[in-house]
């Protein structure tokens, strides 16, 4: 089975390819010639995931899935949430985004947070939603070099290491995206 993953984020692609069995071939937006920025103007992760998946289906005709992820920090009333990518400004800079959260939580012991992923699948004219969530804490400094986005400042529950200190496999076993992808794969495997 061949299916489009509506992303051009090489890190997400790597993560998902590591979780999906070989019989499901994942192709990215570049592979189908889609290089434009797909609008993400929804108020929720679910809306944005469907907006991206619908865009690919409408403009390119392929069955596809799209994900949207948000980091929800308790002490910031669930922010940045759906605005995670542009939290520190329009240029989606991961260092600036992490810096903003670290300074907002400076001196605050209440550091609980979670990552949440929504995956929207459009297949044979039907729509499906898969979700994954991981709880954890925001560290007081950046830890580790691996991963992407907010990984260096997120320490999942029952761990001392941040996501950026884990291998792809270790992160995938507990992560928001890993959990949502497992549900997606279970669904695809039963078709």
State the residues that interact with ligand IMP by CB under 6 A. Answer: 9, 67-69, 84-85, 94, 97, 147-151, 163, 175, 177
Residue 9 or 79: the one with the smaller Cβ distance to ligand IMP is: 9
Smallest gap from residue 67 Cβ to ligand IMP (A): 6
Which long-range CB contacts under 8 A does 150-155 form with residues at least 24 apart? Answer: 150/71, 150/84, 150/94, 150/97, 150/98, 150/101, 150/115, 152/98, 153/98, 153/101, 153/102, 154/71, 154/113, 154/115
Half-sphere exposure of 115 (CA within 13 A, CB side): 28
Residue 84 or 139: the one with the smaller Cβ distance to ligand IMP is: 84
- SS3 call for 113: strand
Residue nearest to ligand IMP (CB): 149
Residue 128 or 146: the one with the smaller Cβ distance to ligand IMP is: 146
Smallest gap from residue 84 Cβ to ligand IMP (A): 4
Smallest gap from residue 104 Cβ to ligand IMP (A): 16
Residue where the block lists tokens 């600036």: 96
Of 47, 58, 68, 74, which one is the catalytic site residue? 68
63 catalytic residue (yes or no): no
- Report residue 168 as tokens: 């792809």
Cite the active site residues: 68
């Amino acid at each position: 089975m061949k299916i489009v993953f509506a992303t051009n984020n090489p890190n997400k692609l790597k993560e998902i390819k590591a979780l999906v069995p070989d019989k499901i071939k994942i192709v990215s937006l570049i592979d189908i010639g889609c290089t434009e920025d797909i609008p993400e103007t929804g108020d929720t992760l679910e809306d944005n995931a469907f907006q991206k998946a619908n865009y690919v289906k409408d403009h390119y005709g392929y069955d596809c899935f799209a994900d949207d992820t948000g980091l929800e920090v308790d002490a910031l009333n669930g922010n940045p949430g759906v605005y995670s990518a542009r939290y520190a400004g329009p240029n989606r800079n991961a260092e600036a985004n992490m810096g903003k959260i670290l300074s907002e939580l400076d001196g605050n012991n209440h550091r609980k947070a979670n990552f949440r992923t929504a995956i929207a699948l459009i297949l044979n004219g039907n729509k499906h939603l898969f979700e994954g969530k991981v709880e954890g804490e925001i560290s007081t400094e950046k830890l580790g070099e691996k991963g992407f986005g907010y990984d260096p400042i997120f320490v999942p529950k029952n761990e001392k290491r941040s996501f950026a200190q884990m291998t792809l496999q270790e992160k995938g076993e507990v992560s928001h995206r890993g959990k949502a992808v497992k549900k997606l794969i279970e669904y695809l495997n039963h078709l």
